[in-house]
Amino acid sequence: MSRSTELVQRFYEATQAGDGAGILAILHPAFEARTAPGLPCGAGGSFHGPREAMAGIWGPINVAFATAPYAETWHEATDGTVVVAGTYRGVARSTGRAYEAEFVHLWEVTDGRISRLHQYTDTARWHEALKPAA
């Protein structure tokens, strides 16, 4: 396992543990995130810097969901990009509805820290979990 893959694995472990400080510690100061348009809670879009990503993506998602990403397959491209496919699993806090949504994450590492995330996920699954039962 490469150093980049190990670092990305630490991100998943910190996310699953709800360790915000652990996440921030492994993000590069120039971290860039591009998340799926349509992600609930205003969490879809482009975010610049670790604190903006925490405030715009993971913070709002954590308020609305008890969730985490679970990696299933790992690939490292020749340019060092780490490609991870897996499933978000969790529960919408307001409805108690469980959900699963597949994802693909593209990660880049610079100077020993995660410098970029590009996320693809099934946003409809997230929104379905937020809808009250009929």
pTM (predicted TM-score): 0.94
What's the per-residue H, E or C state across the chain?
CCHHHHHHHHHHHHHHHCCHHHHHHHEEEEEEEEECCCCHHHCCEEEECHHHHHHHHHHHHHHHEEEEEEEEEEEECCCCCEEEEEEEEEEECCCCCEEEEEEEEEEEEECCEEEEEEEEECHHHHHHHHCCCC
**pLDDT band at 133; cut points 50, 70, 90:** confident
Residues 91 and 70: their CA atoms lie apart, in Å, by 14
Q: What is the mean pLDDT of residues 52-66?
A: 97
The total of structural domains in the chain comes to 1
* 114-124 pLDDT, tens digit each: 999 999 999 99
Dihedral in degrees, nearest 10, Cα atoms 125, 40, 35, 75: -30
Q: What is the mean pLDDT of residues 48-74?
A: 97
Give the pLDDT confidence score for residue 58 in this predicted structure.
Answer: 95
* CATH code for the domain in which residue 122 is found: 3.10.450.50
* 7-35 pLDDT, tens digit each: 999 999 999 999 999 999 999 999 999 99
Residues 11 and 7: their CA atoms lie apart, in Å, by 7
| Residue 33 structure tokens | 């995130």
Residue range of the domain that includes 105: 3-130
